[in-house]
Structure 1
Amino acid sequence: MRAVLAAPPPTLLVIAKAPVPGRVKTRLTPACTPEQAAALAEAALVDTLHTLATVPAGRRLLVLDGEPGRWLPPGWQVIAQSGGGLDARLAAAFGHAARLAPHAPALLVGMDTPQVSAATLAEPLSPARRAGADAWYGPASDGGFWALGLARPTEDLARRLLLGVPMSTPDTGRVLLDRLGAAGLAVRRLPEATDVDTVEDARLVAAQAPHSRFAARLRSFRAAPEVAG
């Protein structure tokens, strides 16, 4: 009797900047001070890391620009982001994941998704639901994407999909979806989410995740009307 091989658990990646004032969430200023913007970024990142820590996975990689701090929860391996634009850094992250776990799917999430639940990722990545999927795509409301997964990641495939995709534009997601389709990949869509780029985004995300660290941090800024709303 031929042995049935178990599906390998996925590799989860979070790409992030260290939450340093003046380097993160600069579009939240001047409504927020640089220190407040960094505090919100830290809360969003920690929420994201804690949520993904409850999703079944073989490895959890934080792909970080900067140095980890006391905010880093246990269970995450930190790797430095590569050089180049965001498209190159995303491709390199998938390449790193593929080298560490060659046969495992890999899913990458941005740092500011405190509203995303573990079930949103755990269910589509489960062995029972994974069959037939070549990629997972999480659209963002601003036209970008908050998550990208590849069932059989390689750095070559990631480079073909991502290099040259214009990042942080209203067309980012459309261009990436076109690339996925042109590569013949069967794409499973994840729910749409809002990235935290503006104070209005922050208020919306806090309302969607009222018990998150992010929402609590935003409420702590209530003394500044332009922030709390």
Structure 2
Amino acid sequence: MTASAGRPTLLVIAKEPVPGRVKTRLTPPYTPQEAAALAKASLCDTLDAVLRVPARRRVLVLDGEPGPWLPRGFDVVPQVSGGLDERITGAFACCDDGPALLVGMDTPQLTGELLAGIGPDGHDAWFGPAADGGFWALGLADPSRAGSVVRGVPMSTDRTGAIQRRRLVDAGLSVRDLPLLRDVDTAADAASVAGLCPPGSRFAAMLTSLAEVAR
């Protein structure tokens, strides 16, 4: 048995941090350029956290083009077209056999410890609920089942997470629940999440920098 046996493929689904295309709900009070800078910082924190988790493979599922912000250690694949349910399904389709876990770019407070044990812990699925009613993480021991349990789930509603988790349970999967996290969508979210970020967080530092400029 190899050392990577049971380790998950880790997927980060993200948008290229381009002004006007990311974190538009932060504008106002932030400018499109500032919102993009916060998005970039959040994405970089997320990628760093994923790098700290033992994995068989790490994949950035990207809408856009990679830039100098992308660290070594990630494969890059483009997002498929369609709604978020289709794009999540497409992300899992790039995985081979073995467990896979997908996270977004909106939780810079993520740490490697939050993802510890995923893969070899014996569950069929892993689910990370978000405070806004969505979810920040979704994992499957068998990634080929993604289409049947994700496709058709209504996204971006305050019931998305509950519906997605119910789909996992109804499919007969044993689900490990991960901690509740808050996504960064609004300025209030950004302020709250920055206080939860680990030391060295780019996101927290960027938010502090923008606040100082605004004084």
Normalising by structure 2, report the TM-score: 0.95
Corresponding pairs, count: 213
Query: Are the structure 2 counterparts of residues 121 and 35 from structure 1 closer, same or farther at C-alpha, using a change threshold of 3 Å?
Result: same
What residue is the counterpart of 1:125 in the other structure?
118
SS in structure 1 at match of 2:133: coil
Aligned residue for 2:159? 171
1:117-158 residue CA offsets vs partner (Å, 9 max, x unmatched):
101102x3163xx12x1000000000000000001110xx21
What letter corresponds to residue 20 of structure 1 in structure 2?
V
Per-residue CA distance 1:34-81 (angstroms, 9 max, x = gap): 000000000000000011001000100000000001100110100000
| Alignment of 1:152 onto 2:149 | no
Aligned-residue sequence identity (percent) comes to 59
Paired residue type of 2:177: R
The answer for unaligned runs of 5 or more in structure 2 is: none
Establish whether residue 213 from structure 1 lines up as the match of residue 213 from structure 2: no
Larger Rg over CA atoms: 1
Deviations 1:181-224 (A, max 9, x none): 11000000000000000000000110011631000000011132
Q: CA deviation at 1:30?
A: 1.2
What do you get for the CA RMSD once the two structures are aligned?
Answer: 1.6
Report what 1:143 is aligned to. 133
Deviations 1:81-138 (A, max 9, x none): 00111100100111111xxx21x1000000122101101102x3163xx12x100000
Q: Is the 8 A contact 1:143 1:171 kept in 2?
A: yes
Give 1:1-229 correspondences, 5 Å limit: 7-97=5-95, 101-102=96-97, 104-122=98-116, 124-125=117-118, 127=120, 130-131=121-122, 133-154=123-144, 157-209=145-197, 211=199, 212-222=201-211, 223-224=213-214
Give the direction of change, closer, same or farther, for the CA distance of 1:120–1:210 in structure 2 (3 Å limit). closer
Shift of 1:178: 1.2
The 8 Å contact of residues 210 and 216 in structure 1, kept in 2 or not, is answered as: no
Q: Report the residue type matching 1:117 in the other structure.
A: T
